[in-house]
Structure 1
């Protein structure tokens, strides 16, 4: 599995038949780079930092073979934004999909709580199994993956910054889900000092376990 980080919450996975599977290409990410060569797109929820609606709609219009799977509100936002309806599919927790040769298990349900008076968005999660490797993208949640492989994950993406996050919850999430590599995401609000502090707290030496903490910069590739 080859994972490319495109900034904030967006990653892509190289597919065996060419092209990439892109997850959460939002406006805080390098969306243009992420969508170049995309064969399929997954969207966890409809917040703008997870789906750049104009960019994704433009991609779908220009490339009829590309399809998107998204939460209900995410799918509606894309259709309302001009995306061809037949290329946009709504997903719900419990579905298991075959997308471009990848097995995708949909989980989750609700966005993490930002504030009791702020309505919670619909947030789905994606467990992706591809080429004998596995990756989990939780969107804006710390929901554990359903149907975890017997030997654990290869890559766990952990949100580390935002109005809904707490570092303690990120640490608990990293400790509770067995994975070979932990990659921080949802990091656009962090300064370099913030990244350094977060890395120290999430490092294996402090938390125990066997994972490798791998912070990636935009455009950087992790081979798993």
Structure 2
């Protein structure tokens, strides 16, 4: 039954927008977000390069192989100044990918996840509780709440923390929601961190709603989350890579666009990213006056 259901859900996988055109250069004060796939982002901001929840593997335990390739070849990445992990689920903490990184790479992780990295030879590992903050590579990084859970094996359920990340550079403020259900923590984060330029929010893995809603948002809830956060823009993630739940693979993007339109928000404030797509926020006061530029991929019909 699983195989048949999987085939039905991925029937439209070729309609998931993919754009693998490489990384365009940016200025030292520009900010660029590149969606690698699922919850994986490359963030270039303030002259630093940060990876969030990097997963380049074709397969992760417990689910079928990925249905779209990583949006950026691993060998094309710039030197990485820090890696941020939101929680220890396999689709966010991927051992084969992590082990491709230099062991001196600074790694910022939730409380209880540091031992996993230290046992694999990483030497710069910092564990965070909600509310903790650190300075790294010219950025201020804060660990903020999420409504989720953690587990890596059969005996460690919720033995480590989970959360989201706020990354504040000299020009821009970025928020990565990790995995989360919709809840009051989002408005509280928005009050504590005003002026979020881009919120990276999950829009997939929500069906069936009765089961998934406490820990995953659907697209309409993601739109409301962006409003609660007070973010100027939304960047979509956590869809179109691994088939984790029952919704059709293109449904999250189509529903997101409708919910955004229904909310009355400016369409230009929705970064409905293709896999591999980058969006760039120029330095404040940039000459183009547009506030962003983009390279677009094909959209599903």
Question: TM over 0.5: same fold?
Answer: yes
Report the aligned-residue RMSD.
2.7
- 1:108 deviation in Å? 0.8
Q: Which runs of 5+ in 2 are unaligned?
A: 1-30, 58-65, 151-156, 206-211, 282-301
- Whether 1:131 aligns to 2:170 is yes
2:242 aligned with 1:184, yes or no? no
Superposed displacement of residue 110, structure 1: 4.8
* TM-aligned CA deviation for residue 154 of structure 1: 0.6
| Native 8 Å contact 1:97 1:104 kept in 2 | yes
- Find the residue that maps to 2:97 and give its secondary structure: helix
Partner of 1:116: none
| Structure-2 separation of matches of 1:192 and 1:209 | 22
**What TM-score do you get using the length of structure 1 for normalisation?**
0.81
Larger RCO of the pair (alpha carbons < 8 Å, separation 6+): 2
How far does residue 184 in structure 1 lie from its aligned partner after superposition?
Answer: 0.9
Q: Which of residues 40, 45, 51 in structure 2 aligns to 1:10?
A: 40
SS in 2 for 1:199: helix
* 4+ residue segments displaced more than 4 Å: 33-36
Asked whether 1:55 is paired with 2:97, we answer yes
* 1:138-153 → structure 2 map (5 Å cutoff): 138-141=177-180, 142=182, 143-144=185-186, 145=189, 147-149=192-194, 152-153=195-196
**Does the Cα contact within 8 Å between 1:6 and 1:34 map onto a contact in 2?**
no
Which residue, out of 121, 135, 146, partners 1:98?
135
Q: Does the CA contact (< 8 Å) of 1:175 and 1:207 recur in 2? A: no
SS of match in other structure, 1:93: coil
Residue 54 of structure 2 aligns to a residue whose secondary structure is coil
Among 19, 25, 49, the alignment partner of 2:54 is 25
The structure with the largest alpha-carbon Rg is: 2
Residues 39 and 100 of structure 1 are in contact (CA less than 8 Å); yes or no, is this contact kept in structure 2? yes
Is the 2:166–2:174 Cα contact (8 Å) retained in structure 1?
yes
Check if 1:158 corresponds to 2:201: yes
Distance in 2, matches of 1:75 and 1:25, equals 16
CA distance in 1, matches of 2:217, 2:199: 17
| Equivalent residue, structure 2, for 1:83 | 121
In structure 2, the CA distance between the partners of 1:33 and 1:191, relative to structure 1 (3 Å rule), is farther
What does residue 170 of structure 1 align with? 222
Q: Post-superposition shift, 1:199?
A: 2.1
Q: For 2:43 and 2:143, locate their aligned partners in 1 and report how far apart those are by CA, in whole Å.
A: 17
Q: In proportion to residue count, which structure has more strand?
A: 1
Measure, in 1, the Cα distance between the counterparts of 2:130 and 2:222: 22
TM-score, with length taken from structure 2: 0.62
Give the superposition deviation at 1:15.
4.0
